[in-house]
C-alpha cells in the first residue's frame, strides 16, 4: 500500500495507490472484470486456501476497489476499508456481522429511514431488539445498555434534525461495557469529522453523498479494524454480496480527490444560507450545526471541523405549505440524497423518513413542516434568491 500522508488534502489524491504498480498510470486503472484467471489449477488452489495472495473473483476483491478501500481507510484513520454497493449494504453488513439472535442494539434517537426500517426488520425476523437513546449524557446512555447489547449505533449529525451526539462520550461509555460503537459519518465525511480518532470503532458511509459528490453513484463504505473488516469481508460481504462495481469504485476515487475543496465550498455556502434563512419571517426554526445558538454547538466545536453543508428548517404553516414552497423553486432541485454539486431540497416526513411510523417520526422531531436542504456548490446568492422567492410565496 502507498504511504499514508499526514494531511487529508494529500491523502485524498495519493493514498492507497502507487502508479509504479500499474504501468505508471496516473489514475488507478478500472479493472472492469468479474473474475481473475489462474495460470494453473494449483495456483487456483493456493489462492483459495490463502497460501498465495492474489485476486480470485470480484465479489471477494478487485484492484480498483482495493485502491478505494485503502484510500478511505487512510482518510478515516482506520486499519482497513471495505466498499459496498450502497450505504444500506454497508450498514446492514456491519449490523448483521455484529449481532446474533436475541441481541440488542442501542441507537441514536434519530436515524436515516431505511436504517430504522432495517432495525425493525431485524427485530421482527431475528429478535434483535433495539432501543433509541437521545445520548444526551453518559448516564442516559448507560441506562439503555443491557447484558445482551451487542453494539451502539450512532448518526451525528442526525438525519434530518441535525442534532449532534458527543462521540467521545459514547466511546467512553461503550468501553466500560466492552461493546463497539458504529458511527454513520455520511453527513460529515472524514474532512469534517473522524469518529475513529474519538474512540469509536467502526465508521459507515453512504458514499453516494459527499464521498462521490457528483450525484452519479450509489455506494457504501466501512472503515474499522483489520480484524473486524476481515470478518465482514468473508461473511456478510462475501455471502450476502452487496459489493460495489469496479466502475463505481473508480468514480468514487475520482470524487474523493476534490473532497476537501468541495466540502469547504459546501460549508461556506451553507453558512451564508443559514444566516439568511434564520431571519426569514416564514422560517419558524432552523437546525444547523454551525449555529452558535444551537444547544449542540459545544459538541460541534469539539468534534467537527466545520458546520457542514446540511441545514434543516421548519416553516410557519402546514405540510401543504412546505410542499408549495418546494414546488415554487426554480432551479433548486426537489430530490432526496445530499452532498451533490446541485442544491437539493426534500420533505423528510413524506420522503426519506416516510417509512418511520408517525409517532416515532414526531418524537424524532420530523414534523410535517420540516424541510431538509443540502446546500450545493453554486454561487450561494443564486441559491438564496431561489429559496427566498419560494418562501415568500407561502
Ligand atoms: N445513512 C445516511 C445518513 C443516509 O442519509 C443514507 C441515505 O440517504 C444512507 C445511510 C443510505 O445510503 P444509500 O442510499 O447509499 O444506500
CA 33 to ligand 1 centroid distance, Å: 27
CA 94 to ligand 1 centroid distance, Å: 14
CA 89 to ligand 1 centroid distance, Å: 10
Does ligand 1 lie within 6 Å of residue 112's CB atom?
Answer: yes
Between CA 233 and CA 213, with CA 25 as vertex, the angle to 5 degrees is: 60
pLDDT band at 360 (very low <50, low <70, confident <90, very high): confident
The residue extents of the domains of the chain are 8-256, 259-392
The string of DSSP codes covering 254-300 is HHHTTHHHHHHHHHHHHHHHHHHHHT-TTEEEEE-TT-TTSTTHHHH
Atom 16 in ligand 1: residue holding the nearest Cα = 87
Percent of the residues in the chain that have a pLDDT greater than 70, as a whole number: 99
Percent of the residues in the chain that have a pLDDT greater than 90, as a whole number: 96
For residue 329 the three cell numbers come to 423553486
For residue 364 the three cell numbers come to 424524532
Does ligand 1 lie within 6 Å of residue 88's CB atom?
Answer: yes
CA 132 to ligand 1 centroid distance, Å: 19
User: Strand, coil or helix: what is 86?
Assistant: coil
Ligand 1 atom having least distance to the Cα of 352: 8
Q: What average pLDDT does the segment 224-253 reach? A: 97
Q: What is the pLDDT of residue 38?
A: 98
Quick check: 102 and 148 in contact, CB under 8 A? yes
Q: Which CATH class is domain 8-256?
A: alpha beta
User: What are the angstrom distances between the C-alpha of 100 and each of 104, 108, 123, 204?
Assistant: 9, 20, 11, 20
Q: What average pLDDT does the segment 226-236 reach? A: 97
User: What are the angstrom distances between the C-alpha of 250 and each of 3, 147, 213, 322, 367?
Assistant: 20, 43, 13, 38, 39
Quick check: 98 and 121 in contact, CB under 8 A? no
CA 236 to ligand 1 centroid distance, Å: 18
Does residue 157 have a cis peptide bond before it, meaning omega lies within 30 degrees of 0?
Answer: yes
pLDDT band at 171 (very low <50, low <70, confident <90, very high): very high
CA 43 to ligand 1 centroid distance, Å: 40
Q: What is the pLDDT of residue 3?
A: 61
User: Strand, coil or helix: what is 123?
Assistant: helix
Q: What is the C-alpha to C-alpha distance for residues 371 and 354, in angstroms, rounded to an integer? A: 13
Say yes or no to pLDDT of 1 above 80: no
Q: What is the C-alpha to C-alpha distance for residues 195 and 59, in angstroms, rounded to an integer? A: 28
Say yes or no to pLDDT of 124 above 80: yes
CA 221 to chain centre: 8
Indicate the pTM of the whole model.
0.97
CA 361 to ligand 1 centroid distance, Å: 17
Does ligand 1 lie within 6 Å of residue 184's CB atom?
Answer: yes
Report whether CATH 3.90.1150.10 matches the domain 259-392: yes
3-state DSSP percent of the chain in helix, strand and coil, to 5? 40, 15, 45
Q: What average pLDDT does the segment 232-254 reach? A: 97
pLDDT band at 2 (very low <50, low <70, confident <90, very high): very low
Ligand 1 atom having least distance to the Cα of 111: 3
DSSP state letter for 237: I
Segment 308-317, tens digit of pLDDT: 999 999 999 9
Quick check: 57 and 65 in contact, CB under 8 A? no
Does ligand 1 lie within 6 Å of residue 208's CB atom?
Answer: yes
Mean pLDDT of the chain: 97
Q: What is the pLDDT of residue 62?
A: 98
Q: Residue 315's closest CA among 359, 353, 352, 348?
A: 348
Atom 15 in ligand 1: residue holding the nearest Cα = 87
Does ligand 1 lie within 6 Å of residue 156's CB atom?
Answer: no
Ligand 1 atom having least distance to the Cα of 209: 15
CA 245 to ligand 1 centroid distance, Å: 18
Atom 14 in ligand 1: residue holding the nearest Cα = 87
Specify the residue for cell string 420522503: 351
For residue 332 the three cell numbers come to 433548486
Say yes or no to pLDDT of 190 above 90: yes
Amino acid at each position: 500500500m502507498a504511504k499514508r500522508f499526514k494531511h487529508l488534502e494529500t491523502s485524498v489524491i495519493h493514498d492507497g495507490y502507487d502508479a509504479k504498480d500499474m504501468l505508471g498510470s496516473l489514475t488507478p486503472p478500472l479493472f472492469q472484470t468479474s473474475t481473475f484467471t489462474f495460470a494453473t489449477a494449483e495456483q487456483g488452489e493456493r489462492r483459495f486456501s490463502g497460501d498465495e495472495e492474489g485476486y480470485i473473483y470480484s465479489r471477494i476483491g478487485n484492484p480498483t476497489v482495493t485502491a478505494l478501500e485503502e484510500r478511505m481507510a487512510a482518510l478515516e484513520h482506520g486499519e482497513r476499508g471495505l466498499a459496498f454497493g450502497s450505504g444500506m449494504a454497508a450498514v446492514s453488513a456491519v449490523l448483521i456481522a455484529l449481532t446474533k439472535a436475541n441481541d440488542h442494539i442501542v441507537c441514536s434517537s434519530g436515524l436515516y429511514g431505511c436504517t430504522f426500517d432495517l432495525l425493525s426488520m431485524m427485530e421482527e425476523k431475528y429478535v434483535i431488539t433495539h432501543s433509541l437513546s437521545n445520548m444526551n449524557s453518559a448516564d442516559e446512555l448507560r441506562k439503555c445498555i443491557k447484558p445482551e447489547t451487542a453494539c451502539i449505533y450512532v448518526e451525528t449529525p442526525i438525519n434530518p434534525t441535525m442534532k449532534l451526539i458527543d462521540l467521545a462520550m459514547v466511546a467512553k461509555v461503550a468501553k466500560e461495557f466492552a461493546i463497539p460503537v458504529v458511527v454513520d459519518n455520511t453527513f460529515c465525511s472524514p474532512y469534517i469529522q473522524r469518529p475513529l480518532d474519538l474512540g469509536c470503532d467502526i465508521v459507515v458511509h453512504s458514499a453516494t453523498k459527499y464521498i462521490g459528490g457528483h450525484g452519479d453513484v450509489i455506494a457504501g463504505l466501512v472503515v474499522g479494524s483489520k480484524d473486524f473488516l476481515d470478518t465482514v469481508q468473508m461473511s456478510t460481504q462475501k455471502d450476502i454480496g452487496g459489493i460495489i462495481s469496479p466502475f463505481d469504485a473508480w468514480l468514487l476515487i475520482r470524487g474523493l480527490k476534490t473532497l476537501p475543496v468541495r466540502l469547504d465550498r459546501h460549508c461556506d455556502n451553507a453558512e451564508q444560507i443559514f444566516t439568511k434563512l434564520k431571519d426569514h419571517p416564514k422560517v419558524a426554526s432552523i437546525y444547523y450545526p454551525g449555529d452558535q445558538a444551537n444547544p449542540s454547538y459545544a459538541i460541534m466545536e469539539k468534534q467537527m471541523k466545520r458546520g457542514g453543508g446540511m441545514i434543516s428548517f421548519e416553516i410557519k404553516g402546514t405540510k401543504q405549505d412546505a410542499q408549495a414552497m418546494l414546488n415554487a423553486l426554480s432551479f433548486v432541485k426537489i430530490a432526496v440524497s445530499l452532498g451533490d454539486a446541485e442544491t437539493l431540497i426534500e420533505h423528510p416526513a413524506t420522503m426519506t423518513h416516510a417509512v418511520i411510523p408517525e409517532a416515532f417520526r414526531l418524537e424524532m422531531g420530523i414534523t410535517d413542516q420540516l424541510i431538509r436542504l443540502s446546500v450545493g456548490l453554486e454561487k450561494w446568492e443564486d441559491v438564496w434568491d431561489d429559496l427566498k422567492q419560494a418562501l415568500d410565496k407561502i
